[in-house]
Amino acid sequence: MSVIREELLRAVEAWKADDPDPDTRAELDRLIAQGDAAGLADRFAGSLQFGTAGLRGLLGAGPNRMNRKVVLRATAGLCAYLLETVPGAAERGICIGFDGRRLSTELARDAASVACGMGIRVFAFEHVVPTPLVGFACLERNAAAGIVITASHNPPDYNGYKVYWSNGAQIIPPIDEGIAAAIDRVGSVESIPRASAGDAGLYEVLGPDVERRYLDAIRKLQLHPELPRAVSIAYTAMHGVGARLAIQALNEAGFTDIASVREQEEPDGRFPTVAFPNPEEAGAMDMVLALAKEKKADVVFANDPDADRLAVAVRHASGEYVQLTGNDVGCLLGHYLLEQQPGEKRLVINTIVSSPMLGAIARAHGARWEQVLTGFKWIANRAIALEAEGERFVLGYEEALGYTVGSVVRDKDGIGTAVVVADLAAWCKENGRTLLDELEVAWRRYGMYLSRQVAKVLPGAEGAQQIAAIMERTRAEPPASIADRKVVAFVDLARGERRHADGRIEPAGLPHGDVIALELEGDHRVMLRPSGTEPKIKFYFDVRVDIAPDEAIEAARARGEALLAELVAGLDL
């Protein structure tokens, strides 16, 4: 037990007096009784910041946690900003959905009560739904905004508050800044207007007809629905909300040989069989891979808890399963969609930390390729802007297992993508190949692109200073070469410029951000970026390897992996 500062106690008591949730009030009382000064200090060490991902944080009491009071104030600020800036916002309304995490139902109801209380129509899902379905509903209803209560693939003790704007995409600056400022102007929770669904006359339940139209739309994304669907699939929802719609979507697309991990099929915010419900984490897919091996499934699909991401694994000839990276899946989709869908003004987009292989694929097919800052919000908003200029958006992806095909949803869609990947697997099987074989076809045609990410964890204030120093030192004295590969261009997105080795300077052509890219001879690349959510600096390495006609793919990969290792060792971290 330690002494709790009077100033901190006053802040706690002031918060409790305006907290509508007896559970979080009791949490603070317990911490006070236990003399847990550190626990209280952490909960009151600032506030969760509203940004381009909305809000996300640990569940608990206080301004630095996700709780009912934080969501009530956030919704009041969002609604005030909508009414100020979006014509017809009250009538256009807000779509609201939620996942299966702890407190998601209550937070969604609170958000709806504030919107109705402020005179804004609400279109709400009454049961847990995948995040992509909310994004689809926002577009279909031409809503002024959307809210999803979800923490996506974060650990079990987290929850979040995701916001879509009137274009159906996640918010970007300056909208997030405007909403944050409006939240700061909100008074006490008691002062926020609230209305129950029945009293307001503004509340409409979104029913199965929305699901029906979403399923119809993603089924049309298939390129070869006429081919046999002789592809066996092992699937897991990872205790999330994807199973029902994902399996139905695959069934309606003709894929009926699906084995689902029953223990992980129903939404469960405790995530009892997965410590970290992110398909990229080691061990997260163990159960579905074991099921796949038992059933000898051709492919394996895993959605994250809100089903906006998709992981894919493929059965190798040896009987073992190879998990594809996000870049593997994104580039396979780009190769398939552009090759099988000829036409003009086709557009593909990925983030700057995703593989440049998509650019090689686009060039080979006469399509336009763009890269944007990290985060799917940038992909969706850039696609919308270029579509207004006549481009036809085909695919967007980020290396963290996020993809969208076409414009059915203006965000990641792990269900729609599963249907398209299954369609691709069926096309491969009809042609005597697997997804792994088709990836080899792509590598031999466009070059083998391999990627690696290295993160350096530097916690605390001292760590933040070290990260800033690394970025500043690289800007001040960029290396002339890395592992004997000459740096041919230095890209600094903070300054918005690309400096070539010959002294030429040109605009970087991307929004400003704290990102540095070192472009190397041989079409290799190294990038540096501080994490926006963790005390880390991240380094991204991309290499390109040409494969000789008679060279085994394993030999080419070994050369590429060796080059990646050289670059990692050659960069002074």
Give per-residue pLDDT as tens, 486-518. 999 999 999 999 999 888 999 998 878 899 999
C-alpha dihedral over 284, 56, 70, 410, to 10 degrees?
-110
364: helix, coil or strand? helix
Q: Could you give the maximum distance between any two Cα atoms of the chain, in Å?
A: 75
Residue 11 CB-density burial (10 A; 0-12 exposed, 13-18 middle, 19+ buried): middle
472: Cβ–Cβ under 8 A, 6 or more apart, which residues?
Answer: none
Q: What is the CA radius of gyration of the chain?
A: 24
Per-residue pLDDT, 510: 81
Per-residue pLDDT, 461: 76
**Window from 14-23, 180-189, 473-482, 529-538 with minimum mean pLDDT:** 529-538
CA nearest neighbour of 127 among 103, 109, 149, 105: 105
Query: Residue 453 and residue 497: Cα distance in Å, rounded?
Result: 24
* Order of all β-strands in the sheet with 299-303: 258-260, 233-236, 299-303, 310-315, 321-323
Residue 290 has pLDDT above 90, yes or no: yes
- Please, which pLDDT band fits residue 198 given cuts at 50, 70 and 90? low
Rounded percentage of the chain residues whose pLDDT exceeds 90 = 88
Per-residue pLDDT, 1: 56
Q: What DSSP state is assigned to residue 401? A: T
Per-residue pLDDT, 573: 59
* pTM: predicted TM-score of the whole model, two decimal places: 0.94
- The one catalytic residue in 152, 260, 354, 451 is 152
Greater confidence, 523 or 301?
301
Burial code of 382-396, b = ≥16 C-beta within 10 A, e = fewer? bbeebeeeebbbbbb
Question: Which amino acid does the sequence have at 30?
Answer: R
* Order of all β-strands in the sheet with 94-98: 55-58, 158-164, 145-149, 94-98, 122-124, 203-205
Residue 200 has pLDDT above 70, yes or no: no
Give per-residue pLDDT as tens, 264-287. 999 999 999 998 899 999 899 999
**Averaged confidence pLDDT in the chain:** 94
Q: Secondary structure of the chain: what % helix, strand, coil (to 5)?
A: 40, 20, 40
Which tokens go with 469? 């120093």
All structural domains of the chain: 46-206 (3.40.120.10), 229-446 (3.40.120.10), 448-570 (3.30.310)
Q: Where is 244: in which H helix or E strand?
A: helix 243-252
Question: Which amino acid does the sequence have at 211?
Answer: E
- According to DSSP, the β-strands at 346-351 and 392-398 are parallel
At 318, give phi and psi (nearest 5°).
-75, -10
Say whether 451 is catalytic.
no
Which tokens go with 404? 């969208």
Mean pLDDT confidence for 199-218:
92
Question: Which amino acid does the sequence have at 262?
Answer: R
